[in-house]
Chain A
Amino acid sequence: GAVVSQHPSRVICKSGTSVKIECRSLDFQATTMFWYRQFPKQSLMLMATSNEGSKATYEQGVEKDKFLINHASLTLSTLTVTSAHPEDSSFYICSARGQEVTDTQYFGPGTRLTVL
């Protein structure tokens, strides 16, 4: 149980384009989903928290107009990197927490974004 998927697993795009990453909870309803970014050899950095049906809460220093988050259903959240630039190249990981699990977040496999 508690499986989280992400799509795509890796994406390469040109500078200036937008990229959408999907995060799905497969066997539970995720009331809260989180988006993280991880650079090579570094720890995970929380970007934003999204609750189903409401606006996401962004961490300090994360541009909400650049990283658009939508949590339209209890099983799907999307992160759109708008006008991507090479410095946005990173490993993006989502996690989800549902009412059925206690204080535990379960992570997706991650999406490797490379912006040329």
Chain B
Amino acid sequence: LAKTTQPISMDSYEGQEVNITCSHNNIATNDYITWYQQFPSQGPRFIIQGYKTKVTNEVASLFIPADRKSSTLSLPRVSLSDTAVYYCLVGAFSSGSARQLTFGSGTQLTVLP
């Protein structure tokens, strides 16, 4: 299992860029890295997914170094509504088992005014 480690919590102020790093030292060759956002009493929402280098979409960027043992989710100019728990998920369906898709503890991001 590609166990993930994230900071338990982070605080930021509105308008700042927030970077959340996830460690996954035993990531497998065919594993993807996916980040989700979860608000209380809601299902996780897909943010971004990547395999290597950098991926950017309309809400975030994902930076993955060459060794792929970590990844960093970057949220530009956060607002109060970005206060949520962010999960890093590492695994691959192609390996034939969802057991590799284990959620870590997540990072509680609190955006302050």
Contacts and interface: CB of A to CB of B under 8 A. Distances in A.
Interface string B101-113: 1111110000000
A88 B81 CA distance: 31
Given A32-B93, A110-B43, A46 B104 contact: no
Contact of B98 (A46, A102, A112): A46
B104 A106 contact: no
Contact of A46 (B93, B102, B105): B102
B98 A32 contact: yes
Interface in B7-59: 32, 34, 36, 41-46, 49
B43 A104 contact: no
B90 to A, nearest CB: 11
B98 A49 contact: yes
Contacts of A46: 98-99, 101-103
Given A49-B98, A103-B92, A104-B34, A43 B42 contact: no
B93 A43 contact: no
Given A103-B32, A109-B42, A43 B94 contact: no
A104 B93 CA distance: 8
B42 A110 contact: yes
Interface of A: 2, 4, 6, 32, 34, 36, 43-46, 49, 57, 59, 91, 93, 95, 97, 102-110, 112
Interface of B: 32, 34, 36, 41-46, 49, 87, 92-94, 97-99, 101-106
